[in-house]
């Protein structure tokens, strides 16, 4: 049997990710494709939500993060009206840099492949 305390944070974080993603698609269509909500992490008490966003254009990351932090109170109201939660979580936006890390690894692997001699069968 799955304990509710371990399942509920995952379920609530998924709902929050859906709601914020949907808002961004509907209300900020100019950012679609450039801004993605990659994950939402929540502790067991459900009082905070750490929202990771990926921004395609590196030079716009700080401006978009600043905008999201400014809109955090609005997002909290939106979530309170749409989700029936005991606590309305504090929203903490952070930039997800995992795509940068993956890109760097791909570049390094390409460099290694270019320096390897070709197989001769």
Q: What does 20-85 look like in DSSP terms, one character per residue?
A: HHHHHHHH-GGGBTTEEEEEEE--TT--EEEEEEEESSGGGHHHHHHHHHHHHHHHHHHHHHHS--
| 52 close to 94: Cβ distance less than 8 angstroms | yes
pTM, entire model: 0.76
Distance CA 88, CA 57 (A): 31
Tell me the C-alpha distance between 72 and 46, whole Å.
Answer: 16
List of domains in the chain = 4-115 (3.30.300.20)
Asked if pLDDT for residue 35 goes beyond 70, the answer is yes
| pLDDT tens digits along 49-107 | 999 998 888 888 888 889 899 989 999 998 998 888 888 999 999 998 877 777 788 88
* Cα–Cα distance measured from residue 116 to residue 113, given in angstroms and rounded to the nearest whole number: 5
């Amino acid at each position: 049997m799955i304990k509710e305390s371990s399942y509920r944070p995952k379920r609530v974080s998924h709902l929050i990710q859906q709601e914020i993603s949907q808002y961004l698609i509907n209300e900020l269509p100019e950012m679609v494709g450039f801004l993605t909500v990659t994950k939402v992490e929540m502790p067991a008490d459900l009082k905070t939500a750490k929202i990771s966003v990926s921004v395609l254009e590196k030079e716009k990351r700080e401006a978009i993060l600043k905008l999201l932090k400014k809109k955090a109170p609005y997002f909290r109201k939106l979530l309170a009206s749409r989700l029936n939660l005991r606590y309305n979580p504090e929203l903490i936006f952070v930039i997800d840099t995992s795509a940068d890390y993956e890109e760097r690894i791909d570049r390094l692997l390409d460099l290694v492949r270019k320096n390897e001699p070709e197989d001769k069968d």
